[in-house]
Amino acid sequence: MKNLLGCSIEDLEKIALSYGELSFRGKQIHNYIYNPKIRSNNIDDLQNLPSNFRNKLKSEGFIIGGLKLEKKSLSNDGTLKLLLRTLDGEFIESVGIPTNKRLTVCVSSQVGCPMDCKFCATGKDGLKRSLKAGEIIEQILLIQKEMSMKVTNIVFMGMGEPLLNLNEVLIAIKCINKDLNISQRKMTVSTVAIPNKISQLSKLSFERLGKCQFTLAISLHAPNQKIRESIIPSARNYNIKQIISDCRNYVSQTGRRISFEYILLNGINDQEEHADQLSNLIRGFQSHVNLISYNDIEEMPFQKSSFSNAHKFKSRLLQNGINVSFRKSRGLEKNAACGQLRRI
């Protein structure tokens, strides 16, 4: 199957020309598949195209999208989680997070996740496969349709490790920017950190996108190597000091601030001494710490930090000159919050 979603105007013009059609047919397809007012997943609905062209596209295996909505879960705070089935029978989840001024979509980049972070439900079944760019784009369009609200922000924080699907993620970012008209500055790519991939991300972004303006978020969750290895098994392959060094280089190359994600786990990484260690680790370059409350997962042994410990941790970071904020959890009762996605 060849998905038309994820294709640019130029890509679609080339397809039209390859079938003996004029290039403007590509523009017609582009308007059809990205315009929320008229789009559908059926090539037969492209009535502006000659019927023989539509038939050729279908016979050659072209599709538009392919994800099927299996289940919707609406939280009390308005957060919407979609369970989506792929053409090969796998399942992914996407989340729409609305406020008065914006709609953020949390997209998945893989079916499952290979990282097996101990506090996260997503990786418990391992990795099934990576998603194609069209499957990433369709998540955004489906959330937009279901919520009847224009998407303004994108976070690659759903299922999967984006930097292990870097080529398709970059295609998706380009499409989101150029075809959905969402600025790179409104996008965030979150990674647990993979050796050599941070430098590759900036290099390929400049080569393929012409710029690198999205936010890079590092799921750090620990102030030192020992604690990080205890909760993130892959940390054994990537020393925390090397991660910070690579982040410094990334900031130098892109001019973009790094965001460090930090889940506060009771008695594990939430003491004031840990805040001091974290401060010493990341000070000296453009960065920001997002503190996150642990979202309960039934079969896991962790507990969220007390209000007192969380407040002291944040206060110590501020005293140490670190930019810090708390991220509010959304969609908790529907298992739509950070770390809870698990294809149910």
Which residue among 113, 117, 212, 338 is the active-site one?
338
User: Is 117 one of the catalytic residues?
Assistant: no
Neighbouring-strand partners of residue 219? 261
Q: CA-to-CA distance for 70 and 82, rounded, in angstroms?
A: 8
Which residue among 13, 21, 93, 168 is the active-site one?
93
Q: Is the dihedral of CA 81, 87, 91, 92 positive or negative?
A: negative
- Burial of residue 209 (CB within 10 Å: 0-12, 13-18, 19+) is middle
Q: CB of 324 within 8 A of CB of 289?
A: yes
User: Is 60 one of the catalytic residues?
Assistant: no
What stretch of H or E contains 184?
Answer: none
Q: CA-to-CA distance for 266 and 127, rounded, in angstroms?
A: 28
Q: What is the DSSP letter of 77?
A: T
Cα–Cα distance list, 84 to 46, 62, 127, 142 (Å): 24, 20, 16, 10
Q: CA-to-CA distance for 176 and 181, rounded, in angstroms?
A: 6
What stretch of H or E contains 266?
Answer: none
- Burial of residue 73 (CB within 10 Å: 0-12, 13-18, 19+) is middle
Q: CB of 106 within 8 A of CB of 155?
A: yes
Q: CA-to-CA distance for 337 and 79, rounded, in angstroms?
A: 9
Q: CA-to-CA distance for 67 and 43, rounded, in angstroms?
A: 15
Task: Please calculate the CA angle 166-167-170 and round it to the nearest 5 degrees.
Answer: 80
Count other C-beta atoms under 10 Å from residue 222's C-beta. Answer: 24
Tokens 């409104």 belong to residue: 186
Report the catalytic residues: 93, 338
